[in-house]
Amino acid sequence: MQVVIDSVGHRFPTGPWLFRGLTARLDPGQVYALVGPSGSGKSTLLSLIAGWVAPAEGAIERLGSGRTSWVFQNPHGAPRRTVLDHVVLPLLAAGARRREAEADAAPPTRWRWRR
């Protein structure tokens, strides 16, 4: 996926501008690091790039992929829950029955889930 960021700025309704005039192109196959002080808007920019939040100004184009995934900075699980529990949770939340959700969540190899 290529991401084209054109003159993007963002502020939340009650807050100051976090950034303005951001223009960049992120190319497929490359790794980028976004650094800055806490509260400077890094997670906000990732939300914009993912398309979950619309920028207050400017435009962001995502070319070549219908889906953006993101591992959050604090990817903690729920205590005493298995990996399978974590994987099926969004399927259950979307209305699937547990048996179907566990079948969908099964890995494509001969791995076995352990409870």
CB contact at 8 A, 5 and 46:
no
* Site membership for ligand ATP, residue 69 (CB under 6 A): no
H/E stretch holding 63 reads: strand 57-63
Give the per-residue contact string, 1-20, with ligand ATP (x = CB under 6 A; - = no). Answer: -----------x--x--x--
* Rounded Cα gap, residues 63 and 51, in angstroms: 12
Q: Which of 31, 32, 38, 94 binds ligand ATP (CB under 6 A)?
A: 38
Comparing CB distances to ligand ATP, the nearer of 14 and 109 is 14
Site for Mg ion, rule CB under 5 A: 42-43
Q: Which of 36, 51, 77, 90 binds ligand ATP (CB under 6 A)?
A: 36
Comparing CB distances to ligand ATP, the nearer of 42 and 62 is 42
Helix pair angle (98-105, 83-93), 10° resolution: 120
* Site membership for ligand ATP, residue 55 (CB under 6 A): no
Q: How far is the CB of 24 from ligand ATP (least distance, A)?
A: 16
Query: Angle CA(75)–CA(16)–CA(45) in degrees, nearest 5?
Result: 35
* Rounded Cα gap, residues 57 and 71, in angstroms: 26
Task: Identify residue 78 by its one-letter amino acid code.
Answer: A
Site of interaction with ligand ATP (CB under 6 A): 12, 15, 18, 36, 38-44, 73
